Amino acid sequence: MNCKILIRMTSFIFLFTLLFIAANSFMLPNWNDWDNSDRLNGFYKEPENKIEVLMIGSSVIANSMIPMELYEKYGICSYNLGTAQQPVMVSYYWLLEAYKRHPKTLKTVIMDASIIRYEPPLEYYRGAVDSMKFSQLKYQAVTDYTVNGGFQKTMSYFVPLFSYHSRWKSLGKEDFYEKYDKTANIKKGYQFEVDRYYDEDDYDRLPVPLYYADRDAETEELNSEGLEYLKKIADFCQEKGLKFILIKTPVLIQWNVSEHNAVQSVADTYGIDFLDFNFAPLCDEIEYNGAMDSADGLHMNYYGAQKITEWIGNYLVTECGVSDVRKNEDYHYLDSQLEQFHTDVTDIMRLQEITDPAEYLAEASVLPDCTVFVTVNDEAANSMTEEQREKFAALGLPLLSKLEFRDSYLAVVDRGEVIYEMSGHEKASVHESEEEPEQTEPAKELTESIAWQNTLDNGIFCSLESAGYYQGNTASCRIDGIEYAQEERGLQCVVYNNRTNRVVHTAYFDTHLFSEREPWDLRSALRDAIDSDQNYMELPDDQLKLYLYNRRCDNARFAAQLRQDADHEEFLSFLQAYQEKEDTAVFLAVKGDASGLLDEEAKEMLRQYGLLEYAEMEDGASYVAVIENGKAVLERSGGEQRPIFHNGGYYMLQSGGKGTEDCGYISINGIKYTASEGIQIVIYDMVSKTVQNRALLGQDAVFEMLEL
């Protein structure tokens, strides 16, 4: 073998290695769906020995803890390392990784308890571990997971190409640019969500919270691997003198009492603090409202995160002795990051809350590094006020200020400067011509839509299109191939951040019908309305829906409290409890023989309501009654062998006494409630039109509350 061949072979291998490394980096997925890469890569940008509080666990923790707000309000330096369905095993290794980098300062670890219940699928494991930097620790994490998997599997973790080469079909431009946001650690891992669960369903379909935990309920089996690593985490924290807190953020779905009990008992055995915000008293302390504070019933939006972060901050300061670093010069880098955080999160939330389109454009266009795209779909001029038009003109958008009925319109405001504006008026011949208003700069007369396209500084292509009603009736705003305009009428705005290369906000204003859109934070609007003694019937739809949902929650809470209270496990006190509640209807229906179930005191009470027939009822007779707001509105009884049926519109009652094949039910709004023999009681809220509670006075006068 001569020298030439050796050089040739070496250089070929070198070239191959270079390309191989490049291919690996292209093929590694972005996990951008959930800012996963930003969060984990950003963690490595934090200076060492700074972080005092670390959050680990699944996604619910990532969008419930806002480290920057902890800093702003309490001076706590923290980082949120929650990733989608993060397996406990990965949480453990990320904790070790974090401790490796912040051994002197790390004091408290907050972990989400959801994932201990089950083993997440492989992709969540990969998503969390792929971004970990190569080290002995990562090798350990991988071999721990792929135990018995052999060389083949282990390799695929360190050579992304082996696992992800089938991504060649979906490679996009972003795979060849830098893989994550250059300023990724600004949010410190917080996952910003704006959406409301409120928008997902009707008020009577959205679930209500549980409020009270039943200690005696059965416990769920937890995932053994999860428990094993939970123990490891607890042991590690104890060994290093870290405070370890297990939390469960408030949710409306996918969490129940038996799961709570299971985690609680594990926490008790391991000696871990477990804070479950789903149950009293914690759920009251944070004043959580599932419809408004949650994005999907499970994940918090910004409102919810703010509440829980504030509570946790307070807890960290008072219970865990976490220090205030705001005065410490070493932490001054956080102050400048805080400003960016406001741009990225707080300002965006403010945009979401703005109801006036002119104000929105004014605010959005002054956001640093942002480009605002405006387009019109269908019609946007009808309800614009003079005031708004003046504001538009002041913003440097003269064409928008003169927008006419069914005009097309486009504008691009780049970092406060209007770089493009165009409007299109329908051709006079198309529509019945009116007297041409005098204009200094009349809108162009067009029969088709207007469009604009450009490449942004960072090479990302974007295109805009707008068509008024007669010109095509559509609007589009595509950035990097993704459509951001919504299929809604009116003014559409898309805000794009050039620093993070992402669309940060989209909004539409139906200025055809309304000059302003509905407020996003309905709670304060509703509070104002109720404070001014407005009748709930006159509330706007949005607020009414929230009002009714809140009422449902109150009812559920009331029922849960009754259940909690042993005193109310009795017919009389149960009815009395609901006697004081307004707009409540009580339905009674007898099934089988129920004549001897009530004592004199109870009969006396029924008499007070105006129910006179029960006392005189024959043995085994059928009986139905309805009480509305404490007054009897219906009472019927029949003799033995004579069932009764009553149709009261939204409700139907049926009762069969002894010997009538035990028929007896209460049907409300089409839902039939049946129970075993005895007197069935259904409590109904006449405002929210939902059933609040059910109970049964059964055989031998045993009283019990039934599940809804």
Cα separation of the two ends of the chain: 85
Please tell me the distance from the alpha carbon of residue 436 to that of residue 434, in angstroms, as a whole number.
6
Q: Which two tokens stand for residue 560?
A: 């849960």
Please tell me the distance from the alpha carbon of residue 617 to that of residue 635, in angstroms, as a whole number.
12
- Cβ(603)–Cβ(580) below 8 Å: no
Give the residue from 549, 592, 552 showing the smallest Cα distance to 697: 592
The 3-class SS string of 105-157 reads: CCCEEEEECHHHHCCCCHHHHHHHHCCCCCCHHHHHHHHHHCCCCHHHHHHHH
Question: Which of residues 3, 104, 136, 152 is near another protein by CB under 8 A?
Answer: 152
- Cβ(119)–Cβ(226) below 8 Å: yes
Minimal distance, residue 123 CB to another protein, in Å: 4
**Tokens 């990320």 found at:** 94
Residue 41 as a binder of another protein (CB under 8 A): the answer is: no
Q: Which two tokens stand for residue 107?
A: 């004091």
Minimal distance, residue 17 CB to another protein, in Å: 11
Name which of residues 65 to 94 contact another protein (CB under 8 A): 84-85
Minimal distance, residue 138 CB to another protein, in Å: 18
When the beta carbons of 167 and 563 are compared against another protein, the nearer one is 167
Residue 166 as a binder of another protein (CB under 8 A): the answer is: yes
Amino acid at 679: I
Stretch that binds another protein, among 28-36, 279-287, 301-309, 587-595 (CB under 8 A): 28-36
Question: Which of residues 23, 366, 456, 663 is near another protein by CB under 8 A?
Answer: 23
Stretch that binds another protein, among 159-167, 451-459, 550-558, 594-602 (CB under 8 A): 159-167
Minimal distance, residue 254 CB to another protein, in Å: 7
Cite the beta strand spans of 331-484 per DSSP E.
370-378, 408-414, 417-426, 444-446, 450-455, 461-468, 474-479, 482-483
Give the residue from 142, 138, 143 showing the smallest Cα distance to 100: 138
Question: Which of residues 3, 134, 170, 533 is near another protein by CB under 8 A?
Answer: 170
Stretch that binds another protein, among 11-19, 94-102, 320-328, 448-456 (CB under 8 A): 11-19
- The 112-131 site mask, x for binding another protein (CB under 8 A), equals --xx----xxxxx-xx----
How many residues are listed for the chain in this entry? 708
Question: Which of residues 119, 137, 164, 225 is near another protein by CB under 8 A?
Answer: 164
Name which of residues 260 to 299 contact another protein (CB under 8 A): 298
Please tell me the distance from the alpha carbon of residue 682 to that of residue 673, in angstroms, as a whole number.
8
Residue 145 as a binder of another protein (CB under 8 A): the answer is: no
Minimal distance, residue 420 CB to another protein, in Å: 34
Residue 254 as a binder of another protein (CB under 8 A): the answer is: yes
Name which of residues 351 to 370 contact another protein (CB under 8 A): none
Stretch that binds another protein, among 132-140, 168-176, 374-382, 614-622 (CB under 8 A): 168-176
**Tokens 């069914």 found at:** 406
When the beta carbons of 126 and 568 are compared against another protein, the nearer one is 126
Please tell me the distance from the alpha carbon of residue 205 to that of residue 636, in angstroms, as a whole number.
33
Residue 153 as a binder of another protein (CB under 8 A): the answer is: yes
Task: Give helix then strand counts, H and E, for the chain.
Answer: 24, 25
SS3 276: strand
When the beta carbons of 16 and 650 are compared against another protein, the nearer one is 16
Question: Which of residues 101, 105, 137, 161 is near another protein by CB under 8 A?
Answer: 161
Which residues contribute to the site for another protein (CB under 8 A)?
Answer: 1, 5, 12, 15-16, 19-20, 23, 27, 29, 31, 33-34, 58-60, 84-85, 114-115, 120-124, 126-127, 148, 150-153, 155-156, 161-170, 254, 298
